[in-house]
Structures are given as structure tokens and as C-alpha cells.
Structure 1
Amino acid sequence: MPAPRIKSPALLVAESGADREGHGLRRTLGRFQLVCFGIGAIVGTGIFVGLSDSVAQAGPAVVVSFVLAAVTCVFTAFAFAELGGAIPVSGSSYSFAYAGLGETTAFLVGWCLLLEYGVSVSAVAVGWSQYVDELLHSLTGLNLPHALAAGPGDGGVVNLPAVIVIALASVLLVRGVRESARATAAMAVLKIAVLVAFCAIGFVAFQDGNLSPFSPAGLGGIGAGTTAAFFSYIGFDAITTAGEEARDPRRDIPFAILVCIGVVTLLYCAVALAAIGALGGDGVGDRPAALSHVVNEVTGSAVGGGVIAFGAVVAIASVVLAVMYGQTRILMSMSRDGLVPRVFEKVSPRTATPVAGTLIVGVVFAVPAAFASLDSVVNLCTIGTLATMVTVNIAVIALRRREPDLARTFRVPLYPATPLLGIGFCLYLIYETGPATWFQFAVFLAAGLLLYAGYGRRNSRLGRGGDQGLTPGDAGRVRQEA
């Protein structure tokens, strides 16, 4: 059996130019922008739309589900923090897998990231459409024509608002990362303010009796709710895709990841408690635009719900922006390695962004957004993300053994227990997605292997010996302590 094609961290950093200015991308993102970017990527459809699904599964015990989902993310967040600081490139999980486990695994991780970043863009855009309709109704008393506000799976024809938000995000990303970062930061601050305001309204109407029975479906319901709640956390790893555009990636990326998980977990638990305490599990579960519904019921007016709907429209739009950013950077890294067509690695000298790649991503993922339902893609997106997280935890262990002297500005605490626990929690949530999702994911992976065998392996720069030019100076620069 041939040895796996593995790229050292030094080679990944050197050929990306991530330790140098003038490599195409520009270093414009500071610590605050990275934190806002992470919150922008996480807080959106999962809490504004998906909360009702989680509550329907777990009841008031959804708070436990959110905590368990957060614990799963925290273990893996440590792994991302260590590797993001040690290998500050745009490839994120893909590059970490290339360094730790080899090219075949890296390609499949990149393939899975199409689910985490790409397909989730479609899911998020569908959720955005629901709140646009709610906002329009609050302002005018009218609703969007159902045929133009939902795909065939939801009884409509085409989800036009979902297509529009993807198009707007594509235009903003093409203009430049500085402009995108400013917009994401502003939207992140606004969405936090809206969720804090929601909590204030919900806790005013809080009644202890609404928390009983606390866990109507038992442990099974909490487990299913955890899987549903996990979708609310997808996106925190997108911070690592900014490795080549952060000013001090080795220090700021680990910081931003851990801060984002902490802030988001507190927000989610507070929102869930406020919503259920105000109306009870039955009043929140299985309702579209659930947060607006809660505020309308508590205040007896559509004005408050309209404000929440406006916040949701902004919040979910920022997720589309941040996640599309991550997707284009992943494809750019894969393109540099020859595993996908070279069009994705081309960076405009005027805007310092991958213009062609961004537009292609926008067009491709506008299609499922226009015609698919939210429920049809959430589980597949979740299992793809979990599989990627398992790989990153394994990569931490592999690189600790193979590259013990690699400069690490953050180290996973309680190693190796922490990455092993991360693997275990992720595998449990994969189990909870169910046999139908397992089968769909197996077919998806098989398609990825065929694509790698037919295109990626043949065109790999590493396989052609095109990446052997790492100089001792490059290696030394990567290994030196920051």
C-alpha cells in the first residue's frame, strides 16, 4: 500500500504565503473582527428558526440539549484553536487533515465542508425567507406569495428571498474582505442586542409552571434535541478560514474561537429559557419564526415581534455572508493543491478576493436554496460537520506525535483526553441522526471518493512533485515560537 500523501504544516504555511504580506489576500482582520465573524457565522437560523424543532424534541430540557451540544463543540473548539494557531492558512479543517492524515482524508474533509459551509448556506437562506415574510406581515399585514417564498418541498414553487440573500452576500464578498468584515461586525452586534432584548421580554412573563414536565420525552428526547441544537452551533470553525487574512492569526484565532463558543452558549441557553418560561414547550415547539411568536404573545402586539423579525433578518443574512466566506476560502486552498479546478484559487488584484470562486459558489448554492426545504438538508449538514470535527480531533493527536516541535500558541488542555472526548461526543451525535441520514452521507462520501479518484488524485500538485520547494528558512519560520 502506498504511503499517504501528507503535507507538513511548514509546507502548508510556506506555499500559502500565510506568514508574508503580498500573497494575494490582505491581513485586515483584528481580534474584534474575528470574534464578530465567528458570532456572525454561528448565530442565525439555528436559534431564530431551529429553536422550535429542538423544543419539539426535548421540551424544556432543550436547555440541557444546548449545553450538551456546546460541550461537543468545546472539545472540538480546543482542537481547532490549537491547529488554527499552528497552521494559520485558509484551508481550515481541510488543511489540518492534509497535515495530519493525508490527501485522501483531506479531500473528503473538503467534500464534507461543502455540506457544512455550502449546504448550510442554502438552509440558512431558507430560514431567512421565513423571517422576511414575518417582517413584511408585521409592517404591512401582508405576506409574500407562497409560490415565491417557498420551494416545492414546502408547497411553493421557488424561494425567491433565499436566492436574493445569497446574491447580496456574494456581491459584498466580491467587494472585499474589509467591507465584509465591517458588515459582519455590525450585524453581529445587532443580533446580540436583539437576542438580549428578547430575553428581557421573555423573562418578564416567565412562569415556573411552564418548565413542567421538564423532560417529557426523557433521555431520548434530550438526545434528539441535542442533535437538532447542534445545528445552531455550526460555523464556529469558519474563524480558522481567516488564517491568511487575520493580522495575528497564531494568537487571535484561538482566542476568537473560544470566546465565540462561550458567548453563544450563554445566549442560546438564556433564549431557550426565556421562550419556554414565557409560553411553555407547546407554545414554542414546531412554530416557524418562533421568537417573533413568543414576543407577540407576551406583549399582545405585533410590534415587538416585528422588531425580532428584523433582527432575525439581519442575523441570518450575516450567517450567509460569513459561511459563504468560509466556503470560498476552503475551495481556494483545495484549488492551490490541484484537487479542484484552478478557477477557485484566482484572487483579484483589485479587491484581493477570489471573485470567480465566490460567484460560482453563490450560483451553485442558490439552487437548493430556491427549491429545497429546510428540514431536508439540516440532518445531512449536521452529519457532515460532525464527521469533519471527528477528523480534526484525530489530526490533533496525529500532529502531536508527528510534529512535537511545531510552534503552538494554544495547546489542547488535558491532552489526549480532550480530543478523545470530542471524538466520542461527535460519534454519539452522528448516531442520533438516524439510519436514513447515515445512508445519505455514505452515498455522499462515495461520490466524493469517485471525484477524488477521477480528478483530485490525478491533478494533485503534491502527487506530481510540484510542492517540494520548501526552503529551510520557510520551515524555520513556521517552527519558531510566535
Structure 2
Amino acid sequence: MSTTSTSPARGRLATAMLRRKPVTDLVAEADHGPLKRSLGLSQLTMLSIGATLGSGIFVVLGEAVPVAGPAVVVSFVLAGITALFSALSYAELAGMIPLSGSSYSYAYATLGELVAWVCGWCLVLEYGVSVASVAVGWGQYVNELLHVAFGVTLPDALSGPPGDGGLVNIPAIVVVLLAMVLLLSGAKESARANAIMVAVKIGTLILFCAIAFTAVRAQNFTPFLPLGLAGMSAGGAKLFFSYIGFDAASTAGEEARNPQRDLPRAILLSLGIVTVLYCLVAVAAIGALPWQQFGDKQAALSHVLTTITSNPLWAILLAIGAIVAISSVVLTVLYGQTRILFAMSRDGLVPKSLSTVHPKTGVPRTNTLVVSGFVAVLAAFVPLGKLADATSIGTLFAFGLVNVAVLILRKRRPEAERTFRVPFSPVTPILGVACCAYMMFSLDGATWIVFGAWMLLGLVIYFGYSVRRSRLAESVR
């Protein structure tokens, strides 16, 4: 009895997990969706730069220099090339399937609903938890600015979550709520504010380079590989995560005026600009200060300028630039999270209210309020710890799926129109998968345990809620 009764149910469940959304249906949804098409190439590029160029360059250089030495410059290039493999795949799929769901939608078209759900769940981790972590970092830079400029700091009880010596992180709440207000005003208005913030943080980094280059000494680059090729490679692994965010433009697929043309360009252009800036900053910093003097400092750029000029003014300006940089990251990543949940809601995998769009602003208002509230509470009251580290695995998993999706669609839909094609396919996407796998397995075991627990929670939600409420459920009944 149990065999005959459970076999049909298992068959239906297996069919449900493997059901896919045709590419033509996805494109039709994008063309007739409720979101307003208001973003051009420059705004889309700024969106990806805004999500990528944040606290990473202000912090990560100090962590990578002691590992790689002067070869950290090459480490940035290696990390950028690693990111490029996945960026090329994102560019092809974003031009082919210009939806708000990003890699979630690409997986739905190629690998089936269960894998799409897992990908979307990884993106919730990547965007939701990472933006909460960034918001916490914003408060730390505010404290640094207050200390350097005025000699005061916020009390620990009001600038850190429980477990980290505080009660509530008020600065984190403030920056998330400010981003929420901008997002509720409309995509075009948010993009305009982001463009201003991106200009400020690029200007801050250029200012750093201009000052640091006056103190560059050739001897600071010798020996170039004091820690060998292994150190240079380890530096690249650390620096890879400072490139995460270039995919943000793909979440604006339904709000781009000309998505097929502009999305691929925005993704690749933003990655190119960020890579050049990173390399310039690295050359200036290493040339101005011997690598042995970095000492894993969190505020590496401020340390460089303070050392070579003995003037605290530069630390103040860099702190201001870091605050603006992180504000931009909070805004753009929060935007990406709302658009991914919008796509998942439209497919029925999460509550329908998250895809309801306000008729005047063209913004998924309920979605924005819920996501912002969740992120604000997370940043204010929860010590993120290893959960924040697990965002790296979630991001790499999504990147890997995008590379796989390119390979599958090249085989299943070779005739489909593509405004951009990954060069040297299938070699390039395979290298993208390999790089993502290498980065994932270079992370520690504790991070994998947290990631596994997150995935288990996602599967419980999928099988308990989403699999029965999917819009594709009717086709398997």
C-alpha cells in the first residue's frame, strides 16, 4: 500500500522540482511587467559600481598586503579575472533574459524550480545579510569620523548589537531607513542619488592616489614576491570578495530602458572601472608605504596618508568617503534584494504581496518596507558573525549557476537572440564554474556549516510552502 500510494506523489514532487519557465515566457513577463523602464546605461553602470565599490577597498587592502606583499597589485588583477569569467556569463544572460530576478530567473529557465529556489535563497543570503553587515560597518566609520574630527564616539551600547558589547546599533538602523526612503521614491530617483554617491567615492579614491603617488618609492616594490606565488594567489582569494556586486545591474532588468543592449555593457563596464581603481589604489598605497608597515590594519588607506603626510585631515576625508561609499552599497544592494524577491513573488514562491507595485512610483512598496525592516532589525540586534561570512558561499554558488546556465542555454536554445555572447564558450563558463568552486572550498568549515543550515531552512520553506504555491503548479496537476 505504501509503495503504490507514495510513488505517484513522489513522481509529482520530482516533476515539480524540475519544472522550468520557458525563456519566451520570461521575456514576455519582462516586456509586460508593472515596473517602470527608466534607467539608462550610465545609471545601470553606476548601480553596479555602487554595489561593488564599498567598504571592501577601504578595509580589504590592509588584510591582503600582509599576505601578498607588493604582489597584491597582481592579486587584484587575478581576482578581477576570476570575477570576469562570471561577469561575462551574467552579461550574456542579462541581455537574453532581462528580468529582475538575476541569476534566480536564469536558473529557473535552465535548471528547474528547485535549483532556482536554492539560487534565490542564496541571493537572499547574499543581499539581505551582506547589506546588514555593511550597515554595521557604516556605523563604525561614523564613529571613526567622530573620533578623528571631534574626539568623541558613540557609546558602545548604541553602536553595536547584543553580543558585540552593545544593545542596539542605531547608526545601522539610520542608514537602512535612509536607503529605504530613497527606494520608495522610485528607481530613477534612487539611481540619481546613487550616481552622486558613486562620484564622491570615486573622487575620494582618486584623491588618495593623487596624494600617495607623490610619495611613491621604487624600492617599496622590491622584492615584488616576498611571499612567493602562493602569497599572491592567497591575496587574490581574499580580494575576490571586494568584486562582489557587479551583478547588481542584472536585478534592474525590468527597469532598464534598453535592457538587451545596456545590461551587458553595464556589467562589464562597471567591473572594468572597479578593477582599474583597485589596481591604482594598490600601486599608490604599496609605493608610498613599505608593505611590512601595513600590519593588517583595517583603515589601511587612512594609515597610509596619515603616515606620509602627518596630517589628520586626510583621515577625516577618507572617513567621509567611506561613509558615502557604504551608504551607496546599502542603497544598491537593498534595491537588488527587493527586485529578486519581486521576481520570486511573481512566480508564487514567496507571498504575492511582495510583487505588488505602487501605481504612482512604480516601486514594490510592501516588498521594500518588509526587506528594509528585516535588514534594519538584523543589523541592529543580531551579531552576524559566521552568517555574514556565509554570504561569500551564497554569492559564489549563484555565480557558478549562472555559468552553468550559459552552457545549458547554448545547447538548448542555440537560435535564441543574444545581444552579447561569452567569448570562447564553453571554455570560459567552465573556467567560471571552476573558479567559483575553488573559492568556495577555500572557505573554512564553520562557514560551510552555517551555509548548510541556511540551505536546510530554505528547503523546509520550499517544500512546506513554495512548491504548492508556484505559478507553474497547475501544469503538473
Q: Does 1:269 align with 2:279?
A: yes
Q: Is the 8 A contact 1:107 1:452 kept in 2?
A: yes
Q: Deviation of residue 80 (structure 1)?
A: 0.4
Match of residue 419 from structure 1: 429
C-alpha displacement of 1:439: 2.2
**In 2, Cα distance between equivalents of 1:298 and 1:435:** 40
Aligned length: 463
Distance 1:155 1:286 in 2: 23
Deviates more, 1:389-398 or 1:376-385: 376-385
Query: In structure 2, the residue corresponding to 1:369 is in which secondary structure?
Result: helix
- The structure 2 residue matched to 1:107, chosen from 117, 120, 133, is 117
Match of 2:367 among 343, 354, 357: 357
Counterpart selection for 1:168 from 164, 171, 178: 178
CA shift, 1:402, in A, is 1.1
Alignment match of 1:29 (pick from 39, 60, 81): 39
Q: What SS does the corresponding residue of 1:50 show, helix, strand or coil? A: helix
Aligned partner of residue 287 in structure 1, secondary structure: coil
What secondary structure, in the 3-state scheme, does the structure 2 residue paired with 1:197 have?
A: helix
Q: What are the within-5 Å matches in structure 2 for residues 52-63 of structure 1?
A: 52-63=62-73
Q: Choose from 347, 357, 361 the match for 2:357.
A: 347
Kindly indicate whether the alpha-carbon contact (under 8 Å) linking 1:275 and 1:284 is maintained by their aligned counterparts in 2. no
Asked if 1:235 is matched to 2:251, the reply is no
The yes-or-no answer on 1:246 pairing with 2:256 is yes
1:92 aligns with 2:102: yes
Partner of 1:8: 22
Q: 1:378 to 1:230 in 2, by over 3 A?
A: farther
Structure 1 residues 155-200: Cα deviation after superposition (integer angstroms, max 9, x where no partner): 3333221221111101110111111010011111111111111111
1:408 aligns with 2:422: no
Counterpart position of 2:200: 190
Larger displacement relative to structure 2 (169-178 or 54-63): 54-63
Query: How big is the shift at 1:219?
Result: 4.3
RMSD: 2.0
Native 8 Å contact 1:224 1:432 kept in 2:
no
The whole-number CA distance in structure 2 between the counterparts of 1:52 and 1:160 is 27
What do the CA deviations read for 1:222-266 (whole angstroms, capped 9, x no partner)? 344323212211111110111110000000000011111111001
**Residue pair 1:6, 1:100 contacting (<8 A) in 2 also:** yes
Aligned to 2:54: 44
The one of 1, 19, 29 equivalent to 2:31 is: 19
Residue identity in the other structure for 2:132: S
Shift of 1:49: 2.3
Kept in 2, the 8 Å contact 1:86–1:250? The answer is yes
Deviation at 1:216, TM superposition (A): 4.8
Q: Distance in 1 between matches of 2:298 and 2:392?
A: 20
Aligned-pair CA distance for 1:213: 5.1
In 2, Cα distance between equivalents of 1:156 and 1:7? 47
Cα deviation for residue 407 of structure 1 reads: 1.1
CA contact (8 A) 1:120 1:378 kept: yes
Partner residue, 1:139: 149
> Separation in 1 of the partners of 2:125 and 2:82?
19
The verdict on how the C-alpha distance between 1:281 and 1:154 changes in structure 2, with shifts beyond 3 A counting, is farther
- Residue number in structure 1 paired with 2:452: 442
Residues 13-32 of structure 1, C-alpha deviation per residue, up to 9 Å, x if partnerless? Answer: 21x2x224xx3211110111
What 5-or-longer segments of structure 1 have no aligned partner? 469-482
**Structure 1 residue aligned with 2:394:** 384
Do 2:386 and 2:447's aligned partners in 1 also have CA atoms closer than 8 Å? Answer: no
Mark the CA change 1:82 to 1:277 in structure 2 (over 3 Å): closer, same or farther.
Answer: same
> CA separation in 2, counterparts of 1:213 and 1:377?
38
Q: Which residue does 1:313 correspond to in 2?
A: 323
Question: Where does residue 160 of structure 2 map in the other structure?
Answer: 150
Cα deviation for residue 308 of structure 1 reads: 1.2
Instruction: Find the aligned partners of 1:303 and 1:245 in 2 and give their Cα distance.
Output: 41
Q: 1:203 aligns with which of 213, 220, 236?
A: 213
Normalising by structure 2, we get a TM-score of 0.92
What percent identity do the matched residue pairs reach?
54
Paired residue for 1:324, among 334, 338, 356?
A: 334
SS of structure 2 residue aligned to 1:244: coil
Matched, 1:159 2:169: yes
Task: Out of 409-418 and 122-131, give the one that drifted further.
Answer: 122-131
Match of 1:464 among 440, 450, 474: 474
Distance 1:293 1:202 in 2: 11
How far did 1:282 drift?
Answer: 4.0
How many angstroms apart in 1 are the aligned matches of 2:266 and 2:53? 15
- Distance (whole Å) between structure 1 residues aligned to residue 305 and residue 376 of structure 2: 31
Q: Which AA in structure 2 matches 1:5?
A: R
**Aligned partners of 1:161, 1:388: CA distance in 2, in Å?**
30
Alpha-carbon distance between aligned partners in 2 of 1:131 and 1:246, rounded to the nearest angstrom: 33
CA distance in 2, matches of 1:238, 1:153: 32
